[in-house]
Amino acid sequence: MYRLALILFACVFGFSQPSAYNQPYRPQYHFSPREHWTNDPNGLVYFDGEYHLFYQYNPFGDVWGHMSWGHAVSRDLTHWQELPVALPEENGIMIFTGSTVVDTHNTSGFCADRQPCMVAVYTGYTPPTPARPALQTQNLAYSNDRGRTWIKYSGNPVLNLNLADFRDPQVFWAEQARRWVMAVALPNDHKVLFYGSHDLKAWERLSEFGPAGAIGGQWECPTLTQVQVADSSQTRWVLKVGLNPGGLQGGSGEQYFVGNFDGSRFTNDNPSSTTFWTDYGKDCYCALTYNAMPRGKPPIMIGWMSNWQYAARAPTQPWRGQMTVPRRLQLRRLPAGLRLMQEPIEAIQGLRGGHFAWRGTNVAELNLALKQKVPWTSFELRSTVLPGAAGAFAWRLLASGGKYTAAGYANGELFVDRTQSGVTGFSPDFPARTSAPLAIGSAPLELTILVDRSTLEIFAQGGQVAMTNLVYPPAGAHGMEFSTDGVKARISVDVWELRSAWK
């Protein structure tokens, strides 16, 4: 009956894009499923001209449970087609987070007709019973039809340490070692284990990393990615690790380490006590990078836009949960060392519609023009303010009836304040002010702000700081104004309407 229900679900909803993606808080250029619960992105992979987005999904409700892999595909990382559930919960085993690879040379033996195939590596979760504890193991499934149907490997699990917490495998091909490498979390030990395999079935333990950095909660969703250093031919490796709870702003959050990977072991460039945060907001978690990207393309990362503190109470329906915009990654050498840079992919610009541009110093004149000419609730705002560090500046966004979200710069910090943003009472952890240290000296303050009805993503100084927060403003709120603390500043503003990717 369970499989029959999934088949009916797929037939009714999986093969055509829904026409009504227009609920009050529904993001218009971020992926969200047509209905029901989603959390972590899974199995991000590029194959045969399509970007695949798998994700933790409950096919039967808008709260966590019955975890399976939902599935969507896109040719530009902006327009998505939702497909039937790829990997359903079966036989009491839920499908937790994992990754997907393209097995170009059929190392696994799963590929038919000498053609590359897709292989998913995921954590199977067996809940506890009075007779036995919970169990998490690593498992395989494969597809020979571009990810449309999947077969679970009859020899599962392929890696079993008989542990209740052992999850979230990220698998990639390590060219220098000529083998597959898996990074997988030991959450309670604050460690990432590395395994190697030549066929994706038999795994040999290679090394471990941790504890290091922040250890205030369980480690989850490790991701190891080779990243280009800007303005050079060099690369370094970035190991990203989720933390829940214990995130910088409370609840779930993510940190990263910069170093080297020799095919077996990750070596941290910095002292083990050093902590770098990938995002300074409350709502970016379990971000993963794409496997099998076309040669010459930068790494692309997508995260789940929510926080375990309140995800189950978010005031949205008939869905709960959405993804961040895809972000391009690079490393930049700053005075303090190499740091991760994140910027929204350029494909977002293809959704641009109406445009507002303004240059000057008269804030009252700017705000009058904004009131008259900017009516949008999904938009891209780019602003440059000089002098950058001489005073405090703020944007009031999605404003209506005394409610607004503030985003700005003061006392050497970038901040977002959503305490007055609208609907905040569903959790005491939601109405928060988040901030990030940002030393800019005499340089201009450069912000890219993406707003999408209920989402706010800020990228400062070319992606040096990323800050992601959900907001639930009053219906139709689109007011926008700029304020300073009295310091005269030269201001450059461009705002583009971003049209719906669902229409």
Q: What CATH number is attached to the domain comprising 301?
A: 2.115.10.20
**Cis peptide leading into residue 387 (ω within 30°):** yes
Domain membership flag for residue 29: no
Instruction: Tell me the CA distances in angstroms from 228 to 247, 271, 464, one per residue in order.
Output: 26, 22, 15
pTM of the model: 0.94
Domain membership flag for residue 25: no
Neighbours of 199 (CB within 10 A): 15
Give the pLDDT confidence score for residue 194 in this predicted structure: 98
Catalytic status, residue 485 = no
The reply to whether 50 and 172 lie within a common domain is yes
The reply to whether 324 and 406 lie within a common domain is no
The reply to whether 332 and 426 lie within a common domain is no
Give the pLDDT confidence score for residue 489 in this predicted structure: 86
Give the pLDDT confidence score for residue 231 in this predicted structure: 93
Question: Could you give the CA distance from residue 412 to residue 183 in angstroms, rounded to a whole number?
Answer: 36
Domain membership flag for residue 503: no
Domain membership flag for residue 27: no
Domain membership flag for residue 22: no
Give the pLDDT confidence score for residue 388 in this predicted structure: 61
Give the pLDDT confidence score for residue 13 in this predicted structure: 39
Question: What is the rounded average pLDDT of the residues 416-438?
Answer: 97
Per-residue pLDDT tens over the stretch 446-471: 999 999 999 999 999 999 999 999 99
Q: Which of 25-34, 82-91, 419-428, 434-443 has the lowest mean pLDDT?
A: 434-443
Question: Could you give the CA distance from residue 347 to residue 109 in angstroms, rounded to a whole number?
Answer: 36
**CATH no. for residue 465?**
2.60.120.560
Q: Where a domain ends, among 306, 322, 344?
A: 344
Whether the predicted pLDDT of 17 surpasses 60: no
- Of residues 136 and 386, more confidence is placed in 136
Question: What is the rounded average pLDDT of the residues 69-85?
Answer: 98
Whether the predicted pLDDT of 6 surpasses 90: no
The reply to whether 278 and 410 lie within a common domain is no
The reply to whether 416 and 470 lie within a common domain is yes
Give the pLDDT confidence score for residue 390 in this predicted structure: 60
Question: Could you give the CA distance from residue 128 to residue 85 in angstroms, rounded to a whole number?
Answer: 25
Question: Which residue type occupies 132?
Answer: R
Q: Where a domain ends, among 344, 374, 398?
A: 344
Contact indicator for 407, 449 with CB cutoff of 8 Å: yes
Domain membership flag for residue 406: yes
Contact indicator for 299, 240 with CB cutoff of 8 Å: no
Q: Where a domain ends, among 323, 344, 365?
A: 344
Question: What is the rounded average pLDDT of the residues 255-271?
Answer: 98
The single residue of 40, 103, 168, 279 carrying the catalytic annotation is 40
The reply to whether 304 and 440 lie within a common domain is no
The reply to whether 396 and 320 lie within a common domain is no
Domain membership flag for residue 198: yes
Instruction: Tell the burial category of 289 from Cβ atoms under 10 Å away from its Cβ (0-12, 13-18, 19+).
Output: buried
Question: Which residue type occupies 124?
Answer: G
Domain count, the chain: 2
The reply to whether 340 and 357 lie within a common domain is no
Per-residue pLDDT tens over the stretch 365-379: 999 999 999 999 999
Domain membership flag for residue 54: yes
Q: Which domain holds residue 391?
A: 353-498
The reply to whether 493 and 373 lie within a common domain is yes
The reply to whether 372 and 335 lie within a common domain is no
Contact indicator for 338, 232 with CB cutoff of 8 Å: no
The reply to whether 56 and 175 lie within a common domain is yes
Instruction: Tell me the CA distances in angstroms from 493 to 273, 365, 371, 454, one per residue in order.
Output: 40, 12, 14, 22
The reply to whether 325 and 412 lie within a common domain is no
